[in-house]
Structure formats: C-alpha cells, structure tokens
Structure 1
Amino acid sequence: MSFTLSFMHSCSTDEILLQNDSNIQTVSREEAIQFLQQNPLKGSGNKTSKTTTLSNYDAITLEKITNSDQLLTVIPLPDNDKQQNSRVLLLTVNDTLKSAVFTMYPDVDQSTKEFSGRVLITSMSGDFFKGFRMKNGYIISKFIKETSLNKTNKIESKSTLAYATEPIKLHEVIIPARKPVQSLTVAYLYVYSWEIESSSYSDLYWGFGGGGGGSGGSAEPVVEDPCDQLKTQNSNTDYLSKIQSLKKNTGLKNETGFIENKDGTFKDLINTTNDGLDIPKDANTIGFNHTHIDDYESGDYDEDGNAIINQPIKIFSPKDVMTFIILLNNANRQNISLGSIYGKVISSSNTYTLKFEGVISDINQSIPFDKVLDRNYQKAIKKNGLENGFLQFLQDTGIKGVSLYKVNTDGTAEKKSLDANNNIVTTPCS
C-alpha cells in the first residue's frame, strides 16, 4: 500500500465527513511506519531546511477519539524537550490518509498545570496550517499566516523542527470570547476552514494534553510514594493472582504478561511467536507486567556441535525502559499521576518494579534506543552484575527519575540505588 502526503486546506465535503464517525479509520502501526518511511519531516526553510525520516516506531501510540471506536495515530518527535512537544497525527478520512504535525511551545514562565504557550499545526513539509495561543488553559488568540494586509501584531515562530532556520511570520488575532480547551475536533486538525468556534458542530474530539514539559514547579504532576503504590498492589488479590500465574510461566520459551488500564482493569498479552513480548504503548495503559524467561536451547549449534543456549537477562531491558518512558509521556499529556505508572518484570530468580520519582522534565526525550544502546546495556550487566549493571546503565545513559524496586517473595519491597562510588544501596519500604 502506497501513501502520499495529504494536508487539506479547504474542502466543505471533508468538513462533513469529519463530523461522521463512519468516515474515519485508525491508521495502523504498520501503515504509519510505511507512511513515515515515504514522507520525511521537513523544516520550513528552503535552502537551509533539513529533512529527517522518523524511525522511532516503538513510540507510536493510538489515542482515543471521543464518540468514536476509531483511534488517532500519534508519533512524538525524538527531539522533544522542555521548549517544545511535537507529534505527528495520522488519521484516515474517506480512505485517504491525512497527516498533521501538532507542536506545543510552553511559555517560559508557565506556573500552573494548565497549558500556557503557543500551539502550531503544520504539514510534514513544515508549512503553517493553523495555530493559537493559550493562557492557563484558555485560548486567547489565533494565528494566521502573514500577508501584505496583516503586518501588525506579528510574531515569529520556528517551525516544528528545531533545526529549521527560517521563521514562520504569523499575524496574531485576539479572540474576545475566551474559552478553556483541552481537546480539539479532528475536523479542526485537518480542515483549513474549520475554526475553534466550530467545535459545537462535531462530536469527534482528541485530547491533546499539557504538552511540552513546561518549566514551572507547580506545573509538574505530583509523584506519589512508590512504596505506597507497591503496598496497594500487594493488597489487590486479582493483581496478585495474575502475578502468581506469570511466575509459573518463566520456564516457557516465550514471554507472557498483562497490562493494567487506567480504569484499573487488566488485559492479558498474547505471545506465541518468540521470546519477546510486544507491550502496548497506548494512552490507556498505565502499567505492564511480564516475564523474562529462563535459559533455553536456541535450536542452533556451534561448530563443535554443542547446543547454543539463549540466556535472557533477568531484569528490565532497554526496550522495557523505553516503554516505561512512553507511558510516562502519555500520562503527562493526560494529566494522569506519574506515580501510577509502573513496569514489572518477573523471572524465576527475582521480581523487579520500575517507578518514577522525578518530574517529567527529567526525562531525556532524545535517547536513541538502538543496537548501540543494547550493546552498552549488555556490557554494563556483564561487568557489574544484574542490579548494579542496570542502575549504572540508567545513570550512564542519562535516564533520570527512574527508580528500581525489588519485590521479595513475602511481598515486601526495597529500593535499589547507587551511592557516590556506584555501590548498591538497599532501602527497605517501611
């Protein structure tokens, strides 16, 4: 299936189509990957503009559209930071794949959890589509591209990619009737003529969240005590029953697991093909629990005829850490407590939990989870052992705020950390 860029500028037919749930379809992960491969992201400059092909496929999420069973496909840019939060948004409308790049630029002096700053929607080629300014969660003005007729009150805004050198010149128009907004209609995202004021004519909304990292101390979600969270888990009989089932599965040749949804329900993960497990990274998931299996014969032999043994590492992998970070970002966008996000790995020897004890701006969004990082991880584990190696891997990679807890067989838990000399410090939960 071949995809072409389609970024609409005005079409009354599409306005009607985007009010009807039957005319939209989710863009699958496979379709999104093919689209990203065929359509590199560009800046807004000409001679100096750069392009990049997005390859952070594991960061693809499917996010809820209200009043629809279809989902919006969202791909965050790898260079997101405290100054900007950019996401590619994909949706199929009337059998045509539509794309938009949605970028939030928080104000430096943001001091509340409600977003303050600029929001710009551009095409994959960096062309301005529409945008608006928010203050404490309220839309106060909108942006239109500067023409010879509107050269007053102009602002300059860098394009979605940080390396684009030519600014977009915009004219800012004040909106007298200010309104609080945390979601946008899909029609607004893709139809040029659709305005914020048109929202009452459509029931299909996407919640864009806080975005961008912010900088005010009070804007950060409150982080709960991880020990309290672990105690709560240990008192949940349904949860403990599922964990006990996983402990019986470590002798299989494929990982097993389940996820926890934000409504507290659980969903089993099915894996019958290999020793890895694909964990959902959608906005509905707040936790994942899975096995790392025992050593097993691979089915291959060395040159001397000896069976080659696969030896899975019995602590979190780099891919597990990446999944955990994506779930944190999802929670931040939806104003969900970061303390509710967790990851758990169960092996025949130990059980570990990942928790977050920092602020969202601690997260390095540009870490390349690639083969080089995998090799560094394996070297750290081999040199320093399981717990020490994993913690030094986090430290050396610049992953801050992520904490490791060991859950003992009697249900008690203890935090594992490093002192100034990189020695393991064990702090029991009281």
Structure 2
Amino acid sequence: MRRKINNATRFMVILLVSFTFTKCQKDDNDVGQTDARILSSAKEWFKAYESNGDNFELLQNLDYKWNDAEIRNSKDGTKTIIVPVNEAKKDATELWEQKLYIYQLSENNYEALLFEIFPNGTSRSPEDLSIDSATFSGYIAAWDLKKGFVKTASFENGRLIENGTVKLVLKNANTTGKAPSGVACPAGIECDVDGGGTTDTGIQLKEVVVYNNYQNPSSGGYIIYNGTGSGYSNYTDTGSYTNHGTGTGSGSEGGEDQSSNATDPCAKIKAQMAIANITAKIEELRKKTNLKVETGYMQSKNGPFTALTGASSTDGADKINFKPDANTVGYLHNHLDPYDKVKANGDIDPVEPIKIFSPNDVKMFVILILNANRYGIPISDTYGTMVSSSATYQLRFTGNINIVSAKANSIIWDESLDKAYKEIMKKNGLEQGFLKFLNQKIGISGIELYKIDASGNSKKTLDNSGKVTTTNCN
C-alpha cells in the first residue's frame, strides 16, 4: 500500500511539474507572439513612413537590421522598437553607430527617430561604448527622417552634461545639406544643418557623403558638434535621453526644476501636453466615452502608465478602481456619454454621467497630493485628468499642503456628499457647479480647475458674484 501511495505521489508531482512547465512555456509564447506582432506592425508602418515623401538627404537608404531588432519599454511606458543599422563606415575601426528608435504611441500609431552614438572615451570595451552603458561618454544626436536634426547632447559616465547642436560642414560650397524644402519644420526644431564653411571650431563626429540627384554625388563634408549649454540643470542619463518622454518631468534625476515655471500649473500642463504618449492616452479615452465602463490610467513618478480596471456595468457599476501608491503622480480617466444600464431584474435604467470631476475623483486627487508630500514627489507634478466627449479638465494644487490632511479628514466622503454634489451641479451647470462644490463642500484652498483645449489651456475660477472666470494660460 505504501508503495502504491508513493508511486501515486510521485506521479502527481511529475504532473504538477509538467503542468507548471507547460504554463510557463505558454506564457513565454504569448509574450513572444505579442512582441512579434508589434515588430511586424512597426516594420510595416516604417516602410510606408520612409517611402512617403522625400527623406532627409543624409539619412536615406540606410540598411536596417530588422532581424536584430528588440522591444523595450521607455520610462514613460511607451513600447520602443530599437533597430540597429549597418553603418556606412569608411574605416572598420570607427566607433560611431546608428540605431533606429520606433515609439509605439498607440495601436498602429508610431513615431521614429534615428540616434547616432559617438563614443569619445579611450576604452574600446563594448560595455563602455554602448549607449546603454552606465559609463558611456561621448555624444548622442537624434534625427528625424523627414525634418532633419532634432537634438544632441554630450555625456560623461552615462550622464548628460551639455546640450548642443550639430552642423554639416561641407567640403564643396556648391552643395547643400538642408532638408527638402517641401518638409515643414515645427516650432522649436532645428532642421537646417547647412554649413557655412570649413572654419567651424566644433568637434568633428564623422564624415558624410551627401547624395542627391541635382548636385555632385561625390560631394560631402563632416558633421560637427557644438556645445550650447543652454542652462541645462536637470542632468539626465542616456536612457532618459532616448526615452520617448518622461511623463510629467518628475522622473529626471537632477531634482526639480527651480525656474520660475517650476510650480506654475499652466507651464506644467503645457509641457505635459507636448508629450505624445500623454496626448495619445487622452485621445484614446475620448474615443471610449461611448462604452458602459470607464477607462483610465494611473502614472508613476518615473513615467510609466498602468491601466485601471473597471467593474462590469451588469454588476451595477461603471466606475474604475483607482488605488494610488507611493509612486503614483497622477491619473487620467474618462466619464461616459449617457447610456442605458440593464438592471438585474431586466429593467432599463437611463444613466447620464456628469462630464466633470466627481467627488471621488477629488478624493483621489487629495490622496495623490498627500502621498506626494509624504513620499518626496514634487506636489506641483501631481495631477488628475478627466476626459469626456465634450471637454477635458485637469486638477492641480498650489495651496498649503500642511493644512490639507486635517481638512480632508474632516470631510465625510459618503453618499450624502454625492447627493449634495448632484444638487449643486443641477442648479449651477458644469464648471460653475463644480467650482461651487469645491468651495462649499470640499473647502481645500489651492485645488484648481483647468480646461485643456487644442486652442489653448485655461484656468477656471469663480468671481465675487459666483460667475465663472476664464484665465487663458497662453
């Protein structure tokens, strides 16, 4: 009998191990298949992107090593496809390299930059020369295949020490290295890399040949680096430099910006809306207001987003579960369009969500600013965002954090507060009602309401007569 039991036990152990191994293998396969789909989608997008219009003259016909591509997560949570390039080097001993970074902003929506890495250290050890090295020293330049030069910087031991510019200094004065004239250059982006001669005193990075069909194909020059400094105070590592975005900016390793705009909500919102991953999330939320369950994300202080889960509407709830932790800096979520909810007994219950922050949204924002104060996150970085089909609003805090805790603990966050909220909103309308609710029922000075528009952001306040006053940020 004991032998039978031992054999049965041994058999169960083998079954359990086999099941565990099979499950892990399936999980690995799922991850591999997901990455393969992302890589295939990015490759197809890039082929169309690259062939659509004139490429920047210095960057066309590059040999991309797609078989060696890898997928990583940027610090703001963006999926990043990194594709090495077979560089056209005149000498095999040249140390510079090129890598194509494709950032997945949303499903089938990408952006691309070509990074050129120029190590300047005496060591030739691969770990010291890599852009991923914690001890990398040299220069990194970023190019847009449509617009040309974007940005460049100098690094020492893996830390950014200086911003700069790059310029093509031509050997033949009759040639040009400018981006095609038909390509628009956005504000703040330097697209002209045309050199004015060969007397530039910058640091030479590499020689190039300028190919085009209207000039001497043998013409060329060399790319040089000029440091500008630009008062850069927040030192950033190479990972932050190649990252698509850094969320609200609180993930930088040099401390909070001490400029006059450091705590200005308008400046904070403007910088936030310049991050493509943020605007893509807002657009996604706007497109999902026709569902019956809210959609949302919370953001960590280092940038990445975590999707918020929602309860099924058939369970009597259309809200999402938001549990901020010590690293959470903000949240984005949507409020739904009117819809019919089916009750458990089959009756239809018309639902008309209010398209501005709810009492619970305010509560979560108060928790965020209290956590920020407790865990060393700049309070000026905290935010709460509500997206509806008609408008997008954001909460910011500029008050005295020392009085928030006592005030928040005195508020009874229950159904009676929700009822008072609905009554105020019904009497006063959206913006006026919410601001009166903040004043009359929350009473925490410093919680401010901002409206985010494509035409410009604005701050909403109440004047002495209780009417809404709009102050444009720009």
Pick 1 or 2: higher relative contact order, CA cutoff 8 A, min separation 6.
Answer: 1
TM-score relative to the length of structure 1: 0.46
Could you say which structure has the higher helix fraction? 2
TM-score relative to the length of structure 2: 0.42
